[in-house]
Structure 1
């Protein structure tokens, strides 16, 4: 697929993650931020979260989702700013416009699909919001949607409080939905020549992942099947995190054959019984099985238990901390990178999927606030006098 141009009015994480995936493909991504209003720091609030990296508006939390992008600042509260946005769409031949503000602001800011499509009929428009355009005032915060969509109810110890996931999975899920649906829209456009409107509801996207729990309601499930169960699997026994002499190991028994292999390991011979040969039988003794397995694993170092499981073809993994994840061969050689203004190499997360010819290696450092405003305006045919006037009137910044 040939490189495309994306103009994205984005902030926080959900949409920046989506457009990062486009930047990794070598597409041109221009992030659009608001001009200073006097109410707080200008632009994306995430610019100011975390430790200072290069300057005050490029802190640690902002860098990784925004490498490989350009940045402009435009005042869309003014009609002239909205007209300039439409000019940008046409003159830069923008393929995709993205936004992740609340839907009630679409019309106010002149970024609604009908307005922008009137200027560029083949435009693909993609918006992320908490619950879609039917709920125009709902703010889309990942932890709030985790609570609303039942994720917190399903996460944590059975006797503990509802718990957030360790990564902002709903932000990232929403970003992936934009990525996938834009690709589908580009295919459709190649056939029809028409643009598309894409609305991603964070709540709906999150609920689509409740495939192992929500349908159980119509199967007269037990309450224990749709609530927290710690590190256990609700159906397959034993699947859990077990202590070792020097740490922890995760083991997952997914079939009766794997259970037999486990109980044939000399260390684990004591855990076997006729009742436990089937998963149904193991369900009846799940607590006792967890105690019995723990009694064995806690006596040996992780590496020794892992070697036994590997020889017996038992699914397992040590519990890695994040530095250990980065050093895994399968990850380390696929890390993306960027360079700080001073030249320091920064290692980041890998691409989700290897793509031949993609810019998944080293990407340009995240842009300063409004860093490319003037350069982009020149591309649209603005003269230096026009640019100076736009700055003076507060229509653009940077």
Structure 2
């Protein structure tokens, strides 16, 4: 088997961190059923501009929820807890995951002990801001602030900046993906399920490999430095006649090759032969290199430096990234059977066999409770009973 076809995931998800994780599982062929409260649903459904005439299908929500099914279930109701138990057993759920606050686990009846008593081989995943022993809520920018990312982002001497993407959310999603793969492997060997608690704060700080070691062990101050690199030069954004490029010289051989080009020959100075010499005079070096690059077009600078295999790129807009010949063929797509809207979705990190078979097409992000009848009818519940549960606020 080359996909996760046959894997069933029941996800009590909202916001970004867990929906992105399950979206990654969808790309591998897993069946993902997102479970929401029948009245409130996922708050992200109401973020961004809405689809015309339709509530709860706003643009922000559409980006990471294609390929999923959606049901509603009120776990504050006794009947809701009973239905959850039936879903776990009768759908043969492999993974249950939630990003509810840990303080809500008991009230909702979703503690790992409770659910794994119902289904012992269940893999239970809880993602929270600071771990199961802490009730503090957290959003991605708060974790960027507390986790050191904002201290490392921005111009030298300027104010801290938030990253352009939600790394604590999406980085935690990738860590969750790895932990679930390990849990599935171990279950295959032992038959036992697992209980996984993942802290977004711990996930965020785990990316600070160099900053923590250099600061704690050697007492170095590690802080924001704009577009430059603390240990290599020249590495920065440089202006051109028609835009900007980013250049990264990683060793002395690369710099020597660069200054052999006539356009940069005046930088061939003894003091710049070593990286240490360039770092010691980095402000002047970058200023002089910027003067040289500004005489050329971005395309010309890229052409010259690529000819000597030096890492360089134009600073691309999102529109240009989408058109990049290495990216454009890998974009995913999803079409709404109701409105005909065709979504273009970000590419996966790797095109799986599942995506290749489907030519990158995923089912449209589900409306709240869209799959109530198809999922609950598989438990043997008839339409009349489903109508009764809906009117009572259970589903």
For Structure 1 versus Structure 2, the TM-score category normalised by the shorter chain is over 0.9
SS for the counterpart of 2:51 is strand
- 2:20 pairs with one of 17, 21, 34: 17
1:295 pairs with 2:287: no
5 Å-filtered alignment, 1:147-296, equals: 147-223=145-221, 226-296=222-292
Partner of 2:348: 351
Give the number of equivalent residue pairs. 388
Q: Contact 1:265–1:312 at 8 Å: present in 2 too? A: no
Q: 2:312 aligns with which of 316, 325, 334?
A: 316
Contact 2:27 2:352 (8 Å CA) reproduced = no
Give me the whole-angstrom Cα distance separating, in 2, the residues matched to 1:307 and 1:158. Answer: 30
Please, what TM-score do these two structures have when normalized by structure 2? 0.96
Q: CA deviation at 1:47?
A: 0.5
Task: Tell me the residue number matched to 1:394.
Answer: 393
What is the Cα deviation at residue 338 of structure 1?
0.3
Q: Does structure 2 retain, via aligned residues, the 8 Å contact 1:67–1:364?
A: yes
Structure 2 counterpart of 1:35, from 28, 35, 38: 38
Superposed CA RMSD in Å reads 1.3
Q: Alpha-carbon deviation of 1:56?
A: 1.7
The Cα offsets for residues 72-125 of structure 1, whole Å up to 9 and x where unpaired, read as 111111222112111110011001101111111111101110010011110011
1:99 equivalent in structure 2:
98
Of stretches 292-301 and 318-327 in structure 1, the one that deviates more from structure 2 is 292-301
Alignment of 1:352-367 (within 5 A): 352-358=349-355, 359=358, 361-367=360-366
The alignment partner of 1:233 has SS state of coil
SS in 2 for 1:75: coil
1:119 and 1:222 map into 2 onto residues whose CA distance is 52
1:138-174 deviations in whole A, cap 9, x for unaligned?
A: 2131000000000000001002110000011110011
- Residue pair 2:19, 2:65 contacting (<8 A) in 1 also: yes
Structure 2: state its 5+ residue gaps: none
> Matches of 2:323 and 2:313 in 1, distance apart?
15
Counterpart of 1:82?
81
1:7 corresponds to which of 7, 10, 26: 10
**SS in structure 1 at match of 2:72:** strand
- Offset, 1:217: 1.8
Matched-pair contact (CA < 8 Å) for 2:4–2:28: no
Contact 1:127 1:199 in 2 (8 A): yes
Gaps of 5+ in 1: 37-41
Describe the SS at the equivalent of 2:269.
coil
Deviation at 1:360, TM superposition (A): 6.6
Distance in 1 separating the partners of 2:319 and 2:60: 17
**Shift in CA distance, 101/93, structure 1 to aligned 2, threshold 3 Å:** same
Deviations 1:201-228 (A, max 9, x none): 11111111001211112342432xx100
Asked if the contact 1:14/1:174 (under 8 Å) is kept, the reply is yes
> Could you tell me the TM-score, scaled by structure 1's length?
0.95
Deviation at 1:376, TM superposition (A): 1.1
CA distance in 1, matches of 2:144, 2:216: 23
- Residues 232-288 of structure 1, C-alpha deviations (whole Å, 9 max, x = no match): 011111100001111000000000001101111111111121111111111111111
